Amino acid sequence: MLRIKQLPTFDSVAAGKKAVCNLPLGLRYHTITLELGNNAVAANTITDLVDDIVVKINGKPQRIATGDQTNQLNGVNGAAHLLTATGVDGQATRRLRLPIHFAEPWRKSVDEVQALALRANGINSFQLEVTMKAGLAAPLLSGWYEFDYDNRPIGLISKWTRQDFSAVGTSVDITTINKVDFIEAIHLFPTSDGKFVNDVKLTANGEELRDKITNVQNAATLVGREMNPDTSATPRYDLVFDYDDPVNGALPTQANGEPIKELTLKLTWNAAAAGTQTAIIKRTGPPD
């Protein structure tokens, strides 16, 4: 049975500052939900309220994404996993509630759902660091967590790494993705100058895993697996490896204890780009 408790108080909740919450150890965390607001008459969408959200274990980042990026990637797994809101946007009573999932409730079996719930055992610290947007008159930050008990060591967790690549011209070959852990997904956001990834080719040790699959083809594949990819006019490209559901459907990056020799991601944009390509790489592995 899951229990639900209020989060410990964040320290230093202030506009433009990092607020830190030290979480209790010895629990298995399924979901943390942040409750966000600005006690003033002002715009208060997720992009107005919060910048980076960082999950740390033993002081080392295990996940990093903005609040908006977190919400977008939650939504890939279904609209039910997007943030919820009460009140009227622009009013002081508006509140947003953004889930941070460790367990994965979109999986099809109980064992798969709970597989990556975070067991905070055998570690020295577990922290949540939230940077509030600059210029907020009266930022509000609190929340709650869902947990149960499991005395096994921490084991494997889901980690998010945000990485920027040069986006110049019509295409790029990326060979610098770190060959560690299992890669669950690579989410490719529109470039800083508004272009989007039109198609992707991926090879690993010379094997074609994706053969210039277009954004539209990829989205249709994910929809067929009850997922919710971005289909806007300037879409994110959701390159999901475990879309067939099992956690172990992720892309292995090692063989016989050694990194694979080659991993190449070729991106082609819808038009010539001149900016930065941001990606969030989701991995399954032990804490960094």
pLDDT at site 255: 83
Banded pLDDT at 246 (limits 50, 70, 90): confident
Residue 26 has pLDDT above 80, yes or no: yes
Encode pLDDT of 133-162 as tens digits: 999 999 999 999 999 999 999 999 999 999
Pick the CATH number of 158-285 from 2.130.10.10, 2.60.120.10, 2.60.120.730, 3.40.50.1240: 2.60.120.730
pLDDT number for residue 108:
87
Domain ranges of the chain: 3-155, 158-285
pLDDT at 157: 97
* Average pLDDT estimate for 208-216: 96
Quick check: 248 pLDDT over 80? Answer: no
pTM comes to: 0.96
Residues 6+ apart with CB under 8 A from 255: 205
Q: Span 3-155: which CATH code?
A: 2.60.120.730
Q: Check pLDDT > 90 for residue 257.
A: no
Same fold, 3-155 and 158-285: yes
Per-residue pLDDT of 181-199, as tens digits, reads 999 999 999 999 999 999 9
168 pLDDT band, cuts 50/70/90, is very high
